[in-house]
A and B are shown apart, each in its own frame.
Chain A
Amino acid sequence: MKRRTFFKVTGATGGGLILGIGLAQCAEPEVRRKVLEMPETWHEINTYLKIGNNGVVTIYSPNPEIGQNVKTSMPMIVAEELDVDWENVIVEQAGLNTEWFSRQVAGGSQSIRKEWFSLREGGAKARQMLINAAALQWQVGAANCTTENGYVIGPDKQKLSYGELADEASKLEIPEKVELKSNSAFTKIGKNHKNVDGLKIATGQPLFGIDTHREGMVYVSVMRPPAFGQKLESFDDKEAREVNGVVDIIQFGDKIAVLATSNWQAMKAKKLLKPKWSGNGLENTADHDQILMGLLDARENEPFRKDGDVDQAFAEAEEVLTRVYESPFLPHNCLEPMNFFADATGDKVELHGPIQTPAWCRSRVAKILDRPEEDIEVSMTRMGGGFGRRLYGDFSDEAAEISSIAKRPVQLLFTREDDMTAGTYRPAIKYKIEASLKDGAITAYRLSEASINSNMYGLIPNFFPAGAIPNLEVRGHKYDSNITTGAWRAPYTNFLAYAEQSFFDELADRLQKDPIDLRIELLEQAKPAAEADEKIEYSPERMQGVLKLVAEKSEYGTKASDVYQGVSAYYSHNTHVAEIADVVVENGTPRVVKVTCAVDCGILVNPIAAKNQVEGGIIDGIGHAMYGELNFDNGKPSADNFNRYRLIRNMEAPEIDVHFVDSKLDPTGLGEPSLPPAGGAVANALYRATGKRIYKQPFVKELEVLG
């Protein structure tokens, strides 16, 4: 790494451009409980951190923050190896810098897992440079020096602070290789560290994209076709232009942008536009249902996975259990609606806002504006939720295009109605699951997926029960729709896990086995295959571990007879999770009162944040399984705001008890894995309570139907 080209930096506010981070990212440092005095000079040590002459350390958090708390946990890992007092650390969100950082993405629950070593190396190399600077000054061997909480300690117990050494250290070469701490030496990793933005959030500081304000910018509201498949024929903007504050109205593609001096004026004027839309062959949920049902039996595509001979096993079976599970589209409904700031009027294009994939955003905007990528600076704000919606930068692209056409800096904001109706939805999906039983064993298993626009990807077809059942087939077919779809927290598995785990619950009943015992048995059978087949990345042992832990912690099987427990276990994003939901029946209505959860995510970096993630994922999983539904009628979404779209609310959230497996293995994902098992745990508990199986989301509708 050619570090010398990256700085000199002096002063807290001078760093922005020199660091290659957009101006927007030079936000004031974090206000913490202990207010830190700013140094006179800052010294860049490497791409992860700079040290002030007074010993205050700024650590850059590379990845976007969507509520998964990486802005605290990633810098913690750097601070661990740097060996510095966390109270002396300021955290700043890094802007997009692909020379410095390899993966600035909030997606796939991979931030900690993929950056575990690079973050540690960043801290350890900086520590070594400070040691080397002290050793030079003392004329001693670096190997004879050590560090202690912000100080280098020499062989004769002489001491220099990181602040005193920072200038000299910043001039030294970055070492090629450094030794990392052993896990047993961790002092920060494994200890609770509260959200670095906690105080700012609790006091309403402007942290989010929607809070962006720049001199001379205008606010933009965009009208898009109300139904998927429609085109803009023409529009009349006479009345809209008469609204106070409207500065311009422009067409781009099939959309109309209203530019005004406030958000309200832009939104108000947009309502007065008189567009003419055209388009036929608009899509309906009723048609999708029929098409997807047909695709469940399609055989055009090669199976994703095929073991043994399923058809033969089915022919020889005593019984083949067949079930179909159905789910609707889901909008993401981030509470902060999509928005972005763009200024394409100058030599550089500035993009600033909430985006999970800043590098992708930059390359797309470069193409749209026909400018080199070097001209485009992207910086990320804290995000009011992501859930996959902000992987797709349609909103940043729109902002850039509008700024370029209108020749003004713009802040684009989706209204809630825009946000819900111009989504990249979780696609509607159906699964057919079939399994054959013979002599008390499951002899074959077939999973067929029928989905809108795309099918399961990567290693999902090799998740459980791959390896556990000798004859197994996983296949998928899709229907190409013009309704835009994409990743939604725990893509595919957010629904597949419920279908599969409900199915295994039913199989356990058929086999007259306890549902946990059946899973433990199947996982035992999977061990040789998991060993031999590298595509099978789930660990039967670790899955058994979380099942046993959750059984113990939930007092499984020993609860009062009016508490009905449902089990579910699922591996996703490299993490094993088991959940048990407790349902009681109050005045004839079943209610989820508690979920106990066991998680194996390897080393726990920040326990309090990990627990928060797991709780949130379970509540999200329950909420969407119970209530989530978006349908289409003539290409139009069935809901456009929260009066017609139900999200889980405070009183519907059950008590949650989270336990982590004590592990020395490297950390794995945590932003998503607690969500997939939640729906199955609830469905299985509802079955125990009511005697009725649920095959369709949202559950609340099925409960009404089932009575």
Chain B
Amino acid sequence: MASYTLSINNQKKTVEADPDTPLLWVLRDELNLKGTKYGCGIGQCGACTVLADGNASRSCSIQMKDAEDLKITTIEGLSDNGTHPLQNAWIKHDVPQCGYCQAGQIMSAAALLKRNASPSDEEIQEAMHGNICRCGTYLRIRAAIKTAAKNA
């Protein structure tokens, strides 16, 4: 076990963990930030997506020993009262079905809009390719990102 000081949602957090512990499990089990979800553990489904230095990153694939230098934003830190344009658009379009993948979807979309304020349909589909939605909410995800881009 070692001590790590992380930057999570603009706050410094110190945790004790083994160096190989994925950020995902530190967020969920140590810091009680349950919005970031476990889906596959190998960076294939996108449910655990967070922003690391503004980039969409799979938190299941970031080990503690590599996490200290990163500025991490989770779904809980995306906005103050759930008022990020993407969150508003998600509600407007009634995107979720089961809802499990949606935090990861929103974080991937947030990274996309950060680097590309008005993405084309193809750019949206490309950027969201890493996020699986088992319920098939893909069409509304695309529509909500379009709306958020317009309202950002």
Contacts and interface: CB of A to CB of B under 8 A. Distances in A.
Interface of A: 33, 65-69, 192, 194-195, 197-199, 201-208, 210-211, 213, 219, 244, 262-265, 267-268, 333-337, 382-387, 413, 415-416, 608-609, 612-613, 615-620, 623, 641-643, 647-651, 653, 655-656
Contacts of B76: 203-204
B4 to A, nearest CB: 14
Given A244-B18, A262-B29, A334-B134, A198 B90 contact: yes
Given A67-B99, A335-B101, A643 B44 contact: yes
B100 A384 contact: yes
A612 B125 contact: no
A620 B38 CA distance: 21
Nearest to B138: A653
Given A415-B41, A612-B137, A262 B25 contact: yes
B74 A204 contact: yes
A650 B125 contact: yes
B139 A656 contact: yes
Interface in B48-104: 74-76, 78-79, 82, 86-87, 90-91, 94-103
Contact of B97 (A263, A268, A416, A612): A612
Nearest to A35: B81
Given A244-B18, A416-B40, A198 B34 contact: no
B119 interface: no
B96 A650 contact: no
Contacts of A387: 134
A106 to B, nearest CB: 11
Contacts of B139: 615, 619, 653, 655-656
B8 interface: no
B39 to A, nearest CB: 5
A213 B32 CA distance: 9
Contact of A195 (B1, B38, B96, B128): B96
A263 B28 contact: yes
A649 B76 CA distance: 25
A264 B37 contact: no
B40 A641 contact: yes
Contacts of B33: 204
Q: What 3 A-B pairs are tightest by C-beta distance, nearest first?
A: A204-B35, A384-B100, A67-B98
A262 B30 contact: yes
A198 B94 contact: yes
Contacts of A413: 38
B45 interface: yes
**For the complex, would chain B's binding face be called helix, strand, loop or mixed by DSSP majority?**
loop
Contacts of B86: 202
Nearest to A609: B94
Given A262-B30, A264-B21, A382 B82 contact: no
Given A67-B99, A384-B99, A616-B97, A264 B136 contact: no
A335 B87 CA distance: 21
Interface string B137-151: 111111000000000
B45 to A, nearest CB: 5
A263 B30 CA distance: 10
B106 interface: yes
A335 B98 contact: yes
Given A203-B78, A384-B37, 16 more contacts: A201-B96, A202-B103, A203-B76, A263-B28, A264-B29, A268-B18, A334-B98, A619-B139, A620-B134, A620-B136, A642-B40, A642-B45, A643-B42, A643-B44, A649-B128, A650-B138
A648 B30 CA distance: 33
Most buried by A among B35, B91, B102, B134: B134
A234 B39 CA distance: 31
B97 A67 contact: yes
Contacts of A655: 139
Given A198-B94, A213-B32, A244-B1, A618 B82 contact: no
Select the residue from B25, B42, B99, B102 with max chain A CB neighbours within 10 A. B99
Given A67-B99, A382-B99, A385-B98, A264 B22 contact: yes
A647 B132 contact: yes
Nearest to B91: A198
A95 to B, nearest CB: 20
